[in-house]
Amino acid sequence: MNKIWLVIKREYLTRVKNKTFLLSTILLPLVMVLFIAGSIFFAAKPEDKKRIAVEDKKGELTKFLKSDTSKMEFVFSQGVDTSNFAEKRFDGFLYSVDSSGRHFLLKTVKAASNETMDRLKNRLNSAYVSSRLLEKNITIEQIDSINTASSSYYTVDNTDEKNQNVNAAINTGIGFISGIIIYITMFIFGAMVMRGVMEEKTTRIAEVVISSVKPFQLMMGKIIGIGAVGLTQLLLWIILIFTISTIAFTFLPPDILQQVQDIQNNRAMMTSNPGQFSEAAKGIANLTNMNWPLIIGCFLFYFIGGYLFYSSLFAAIGSVVNEDPQEAQSLMFPIMMPIVFGFIILSTNIDRPDAPAMIWASIIPFTSPIVMMGRLASSPPFWQLALSMVSLIVGFILTTWIAAKIYRTGILLYGKKPTWREMIKWVRRS
């Protein structure tokens, strides 16, 4: 036990004393805070107005497809086609290619957002409704007045008990960012473990050290030591980010600060008029109102769990390859796959935290460290969180056990890289 502690100490100190460690520890929080500030800024900023040229072969749309001043402007001009709309300073060109005239294509310079597409579809369909109404002898004036009145006649707010007043975008944003951080750190520190093992093998120091400590002690010492480096870095980041954001708050305009306070005070009866608060104030209020202890607690748990789960596998890979980094890459591939897969599930389903794919991926330990972070903001059921945590713990005990067997043989083996079949044999034997 004493020896494993010595190994941990060496692994930790040689890395923490390194200058690049210091540099990256300070730079990343700065980038993060800028990123968050930027996303709040852009969330508050309305989308640009889109100018769309429309080719109306049947002449049905001209009368009813109306520009609205803030979001979309429709222009029915001749001589515009798919090749020259950009030159004529349009953002998009809407045209129909099928005979029924009901299926439109929108050609754009930049890809149109889902929001834009939805809005466009709604506008086209309401234009159709208007034209049908006109056929039923209702005047254009009547239609217009109904349309204008109806657009804000009913309003809907989500008052889910758990998520009251919580801005879903910021919530998922936090989950997404922490998922990404776990994803990146798993790669960074996993690769660090692998390189460390490779270094020990190629410089043949392993030969020397293995005669004093058991291979398992050497491997676990390295994993824990580097994990402690990662944890140190994350904790420093969290502290720095909180400090920087606290400082940043003092630079906010006083009226926004006032609004933040109002929101916090009125939280229980936020019914009066949500429109009176700016988006930025709402965002900040939500940030300060998040369940930070739960998020940070889970973040640390999933970081440690995910790291332990994968780093021992990375160590096993490092132990079987020789100097050639390409050998390592081909072996790393199957281990990186589930990590990347988890990231893909997270990024495609971030707005649907209760989708079956998300639930499964947040429980299976191969992907849970990344995916569960993305679900945390939407308060998943307790049993799912508990099951996910337990299976992660069981998972890393299992991967460590397997990796230790491969490592023990691999670290002293030179020459040809073993095949998967041989490695499985090492695990099975004894």
3-state secondary structure of 9: helix
Residue nearer to other proteins on the CB measure, 367 or 409? 409
Q: 50-83 b/e with 16+ CB inside 10 Å = b?
A: bbbbbbbeeeebeebbeeeeebbbbeeeeebeee
In whole angstroms, the minimum distance from the beta carbon of 211 to other proteins comes to 4
Residue nearer to other proteins on the CB measure, 10 or 49? 10
Residue nearer to other proteins on the CB measure, 7 or 229? 7
In whole angstroms, the minimum distance from the beta carbon of 425 to other proteins comes to 8
In whole angstroms, the minimum distance from the beta carbon of 299 to other proteins comes to 31
Q: What is the dihedral of CA 176, 182, 188, 194, to 10 degrees?
A: -140
Residue 81 gets which letter from DSSP? -
Report the distance separating Cα 201 and Cα 411, nearest Å.
6
Rg (CA), the chain: 29
In whole angstroms, the minimum distance from the beta carbon of 322 to other proteins comes to 12
In whole angstroms, the minimum distance from the beta carbon of 199 to other proteins comes to 8
Residue nearer to other proteins on the CB measure, 17 or 110? 17
Whether residue 256 contacts residue 281, with contact meaning beta carbons closer than 8 Å, is answered with yes
Whether residue 240 contacts residue 218, with contact meaning beta carbons closer than 8 Å, is answered with no
3-state secondary structure of 50: strand
In whole angstroms, the minimum distance from the beta carbon of 176 to other proteins comes to 37
List residues binding other proteins (CB under 8 A). 3, 6-7, 10, 14, 199, 202-205, 207-214, 412, 414, 425
C-alpha torsion sign, points 338, 339, 341, 342: positive
Residue nearer to other proteins on the CB measure, 6 or 235? 6
Residue nearer to other proteins on the CB measure, 66 or 417? 417
